[in-house]
Amino acid sequence: MGGYFSDIFYGGKSLLVGLSITFREFFKPTVTVQYPYQTLKMSKRFRGHIELLGDDEGKTKCVVCGMCERACPSGCITLGSVSVDIEVDGKIKKKKVLSKYDLDFTRCSLCGQCVENCNFGAIDFSKEYNLASTRKEDFHFNLLERLKRMERLEVKNA
Amino acid sequence: MSAPIQLRPDETFILNVGPQHPATHGVLRVKMQMDGEYIVKAETVLGYVHRMHEKMGENRTYAQYLPNLSRLDYLGALGYTHGHVLAIERAAGIEVPERAEYIRAITVELNRVASHLFWFGAFVMDLGGFSPLMYAIQDREHILDMLEAVTGARLTYCYYRFGGLYNDVDDDFIEAAKRFIPRMRKSLKKYDALVTGNIIFRKRLEGIAPVSAEMCRKYGATGPVARGSGINFDVRKNEPYSVYPEFDFDVPVYHECDSMARYKVRMDEMEQSLRIIEQGLEKLPDGPVMAEKKPKNIKLPVGDFYQAVETARGSFGIRIVSDGDKNAYRLKLRSPTYSNMHLFDEACEGMLIMDALAFMGSLDLVIPEMDR
């Protein structure tokens, strides 16, 4: 019988202790960020989908070596190249130039193997995360096109 | 007007819990033969999220398999990647710089605290208390922010590389981790007062769902489930790996064998993890985080390699059989919750269904991890 009353006593006390904690919590500042009205700054190392980086003239640094294509576990990168004649010291030489850089983001697992394997610093992670869509085609990115678009944006803003 | 249905006294019915039941925390299906509110027989059915991770390991190169390991257990992903890189490094004979190993230990322990915090919140929510989940997620958010700043991802990290780390930690991380430890200790006290002492919580867990040490051995249960049944087994102590021998920490063991014991083990483990982080930050040496002598394309010598690590859920083992090629001939993942879950069938016979769901919560199941 003694167990019964002590249970009621300790039980009631434990409930009061719990309630006092939730009550104190009630007056603490809110920590929730009201997305989409408020957004957080993405951290420096945030791994979004990859993007091509431009040099000073806005041209891509990619030399079409295909290291990223081979390193990718899911095979989501497709490269294309054309050979063009360029003049170096009065001689005409053939050079491979990037003509297509497609990323199939539906299959990407954001592991970063491509960025790590690039010896020329031609690709990096973007900070893009608002990518919701109901169409699959929206996730097939043409990165070369994207690079040109970003360049234009930068010129406009400058 | 129809007559009420008459059940024979020995008649039972089949109840499906899952595959989309919130109490199973994923797509696990439990087929229960019920006699009223009592379970006569239970059968767990797996296979709803099978993704052939082992087969993928045989078709991809070792480096390409790295992102897969963080897709097993999405709450404590770093522990699993740790096991993988340790296995490959030992097999290929790659020396890892000391600083890298220390950072690995610190981040794994942070991830363990994050995993236990989420389990704590979800477990209390299973029993009907909602506020602790919010408090736990708020604390977990600090850890995820820290790890995101370092690794670049919040859940599927892919941070360790063969021979070291993807990139070094900065001073901000160390500062944030140092600030986090006292705050977390304060929170643990709060949880203790709010939840552990709560009379409803205690009445629903104490003496419920006894899992004997015998049964744990029979099914190969490890981690907090085994330690709640009085088995003092922790891979970090029993088969030390990485820099764990350098740290001073205890392995919490409880002998009550009930759901409350498993709860207490995890709560104490968080405190021990904080101790490891504290010591790791103090001892953190300077130096590189990537091995200098490291082959570009890793090929393992012919042989059979096994590495076990202690993850948040128990002992995770990875076995790699190599025929000298650049991908594994056979890759086997021994996931802890797969074994932990299988004692559920036997242990819940004759139990009330509410107790069985509380018991399932105390096993800390992550379905994609057992059904890999």
Residue with tokens 């360790």: B160
Fold for domain B52-336? Cytochrome-c3 Hydrogenase; chain B (1.10.645)
Asked if the model's pLDDT at residue A23 lies above 60, the reply is yes
d(CA A103, CA A152) in angstroms, rounded, equals 21
Nearest residue, CB atoms, B158 vs list A10, A17, A111: A111
Question: Per-domain residue ranges for chain B?
Answer: 52-336
pLDDT per residue of chain B (372 residues) written in tens, 0 to 9: 566 666 666 788 888 887 877 767 778 888 888 888 888 888 888 888 888 888 988 888 888 888 888 888 888 888 899 999 999 988 888 888 888 999 999 999 999 999 999 999 989 988 888 888 988 998 999 899 888 888 888 888 888 888 888 888 888 888 998 999 999 999 998 888 888 888 888 888 888 888 888 888 889 889 899 998 888 888 888 888 888 888 888 899 998 888 889 999 999 999 999 999 999 998 888 888 888 877 778 888 888 999 999 998 889 999 999 888 888 899 999 989 888 888 888 888 888 888 888 888 888 888 888 888
B153 contact A CB<8A: yes
B170 contact A CB<8A: no
pLDDT of residue B112: 92
pLDDT of residue B242: 85
> Which contacts of B164-173 are long-range, i.e. CB under 8 A and separated by 24 or more positions?
B164/B96, B164/B97, B164/B100, B164/B288, B164/B289, B164/B290, B164/B291, B165/B100, B165/B103, B165/B104, B165/B289, B165/B290, B166/A112, B166/A116, B167/A45, B167/B289, B168/B99, B168/B103, B168/B289, B169/B103, B173/B146, B173/B149
**Chain A nearest C-alpha distance from B198 (Å):** 5
Please give the ipTM for the structure prediction.
0.81
Yes or no: say if B332 and B366 are a contact pair by the CB < 8 Å rule: no
Contact assignment for A21 to B156 by CB distance below 8 Å? no
pLDDT of residue B7: 60
Nearest residue, CB atoms, A43 vs list B68, B149, B199: B149
pTM of the model: 0.88
Residue B153 with chain A: CB contacts under 8 Å: 47, 110
B59 contact A CB<8A: no
pLDDT of residue B321: 92
Cis ω for the linkage preceding B245 (within 30 of 0): no
A128-138 pLDDT per residue, tens: 888 888 988 88
Structure token pair of residue B223: 């981690």
Is B202 in a helix, a strand, or coil?
Answer: helix
Q: What is the mean pLDDT of chain A?
A: 83
- Which of the four pLDDT bands, split at 50, 70 and 90, describes residue A141? confident
A44-94 pLDDT per residue, tens: 888 888 888 877 777 788 888 888 888 888 888 888 888 888 777 777 778
B164: left (phi over 0), alpha (psi -120 to 50) or beta: left
pLDDT of residue B365: 84
pLDDT of residue B117: 92
pLDDT of residue B109: 92
**Chain A nearest C-alpha distance from B28 (Å):** 24
CA distances (Å), A149 to each of A16, A58, A142, B268, in order?
61, 10, 11, 54
Nearest residue on chain A to B151, judged by CA atoms? A45
pLDDT of residue B2: 60
d(CA B336, CA B76) in angstroms, rounded, equals 12
Yes or no: say if B113 and B184 are a contact pair by the CB < 8 Å rule: yes
Residue A49 with chain B: CB contacts under 8 Å: none
d(CA A37, CA A52) in angstroms, rounded, equals 30
CB within 8 Å of A114: residues ≥ 6 apart: A50, A67, A68, A71, A72, A77, A123
Contact assignment for A14 to B199 by CB distance below 8 Å? yes
Residue A109 with chain B: CB contacts under 8 Å: 67, 71, 156
Among residues B37, B43, B41, B35, the alpha carbon closest in space to that of B11 is found at: B35
Nearest residue on chain B to A10, judged by CA atoms? B199
Contact assignment for B195 to A109 by CB distance below 8 Å? no
Nearest residue, CB atoms, A45 vs list B63, B64, B152: B152
Is A132 in a helix, a strand, or coil?
Answer: coil
pLDDT of residue B37: 86
CB within 8 Å of B164: residues ≥ 6 apart: B96, B97, B100, B288, B289, B290, B291
> Which contacts of A23-29 are long-range, i.e. CB under 8 A and separated by 24 or more positions?
A25/B131, A25/B135
Mutation pick from B74, B140, B166, B190 vs chain A, by most beta carbons of A within 10 Å, is B166
Nearest residue, CB atoms, B138 vs list A18, A31, A43: A31
CA distances (Å), B12 to each of B33, B34, B348, in order?
6, 5, 16
Residue with tokens 């930690």: B169
B195 contact A CB<8A: yes
Residue A73 with chain B: CB contacts under 8 Å: 60, 64-68
Asked if the model's pLDDT at residue A140 lies above 80, the reply is yes
**Chain B nearest C-alpha distance from A10 (Å):** 8
Nearest residue, CB atoms, B193 vs list A17, A110, A111: A17
Helix (H) / strand (E) containing A98: strand A91-104
Nearest residue on chain B to A15, judged by CA atoms? B198
Which B residues, 91 through 150, put their C-beta within 8 Å of a C-beta on chain A?
A: 131, 135, 138, 141, 145, 148-150
Q: What is the CATH number that goes with domain A50-157?
A: 3.30.70.3270
d(CA B358, CA A49) in angstroms, rounded, equals 40
d(CA B39, CA B41) in angstroms, rounded, equals 6
Asked if the model's pLDDT at residue A2 lies above 70, the reply is no
Percentage of chain A exceeding pLDDT 70 = 97
d(CA B149, CA B20) in angstroms, rounded, equals 34
